Amino acid sequence: MACKKTCKKYIAINSDSTHARYAIGQKRCGTCEIFLVWDHDNNCPCCGHKLRIKPKNARLKRQYNKILKQKQQQEQLERSKDQSTFQINWI
């Protein structure tokens, strides 16, 4: 199917760096040729084609994976802090 231009209401705001678009949850439709903020599924709300959720370029893939790894480490650190404060409060 072709682009019906209904996806324009889901268009993503350009981030400071292009490699961070996928890391912050934006998805790209190759048919409509835009980045979208769409959390319902991995299909374009306009044309129905599958959205790209990871970069194609090898350099951008490395940067994307690095950002995801940093996010995971930060989440683990926050969880460990929450658990330690819970244990202190429980005692």
pTM: 0.70
- Say if residue 44 is exposed, middle or buried (CB neighbours under 10 Å; 0-12, 13-18, 19+): buried
21: Cβ contacts below 8 Å, ≥ 6 apart: 12, 15, 28, 35
pLDDT in tens, the chain (91 residues): 688 888 888 888 876 665 678 888 899 999 988 999 888 888 998 888 999 988 888 988 898 899 889 989 999 988 887 776 655 555 5
Please give the helix or strand (H or E) that residue 27 lies within, else none.
strand 27-29
Q: What are the C-alpha distances in Å from 23 to residues 19, 45, 67?
A: 8, 21, 7
